[in-house]
Amino acid sequence: MAEALILDSEALNLLAFRAERGALALRARAILHLAFLHGGLVRVPAPVLAEVCRGPRFDAAVNHVLTARGILVADLTAGIARRAGQILARSKLGSSHAVDAFVVATAAEFPACVIATGDVSDLGKLAAPFKSIRIFGI
């Protein structure tokens, strides 16, 4: 079974604004290419959009990535929200890390998952209890 790939805010930004982001954007595109090559599902948790959508000028690039590449937005369900709250409590982190917790809670929905992130430290701490989740630093 192929792993799912979850994109956090930084990963999505790198894909959307690749011309301005250089080598980091190449890394993001490479992991996306590998996910598609191996039949992986690629998802962006809905709360990530709150961090990257900042008006028509920015939204157009994000929307292009979401529609042109087969990346789907994962809905925020009550179950994922509750799991995110539990993840925050277990990690002793506050609500300022809520979007990161939603990313991890979404990843936990899959039997095997990689989170592409620019925030390895926080995501690693939040995902530590989940053996099915790996963190890929961009």
Band the pLDDT of 1: cuts 50, 70, 90: low
Which residues sit opposite 4 in a β-bridge?
A: 113
Using CA atoms, how far apart are residues 80 and 97, in angstroms rounded to an integer? 15
3-state helix, strand, coil in the chain (%, to 5): 60, 15, 25
pLDDT of residue 104 exceeding 90, the answer is yes
pLDDT, tens only, 54-86: 888 889 999 989 987 789 999 999 999 999 999
Q: Which pair of structure tokens corresponds to residue 87?
A: 């993840």
What average pLDDT does the chain have? 92
Using CA atoms, how far apart are residues 129 and 126, in angstroms rounded to an integer? 8
The predicted pLDDT at position 128 comes to 96
Domains of the chain, start order: 27-137 (3.40.50)
Of the candidate ranges 19-23, 31-35, 69-73, 133-137, the one whose mean pLDDT is the lowest: 19-23
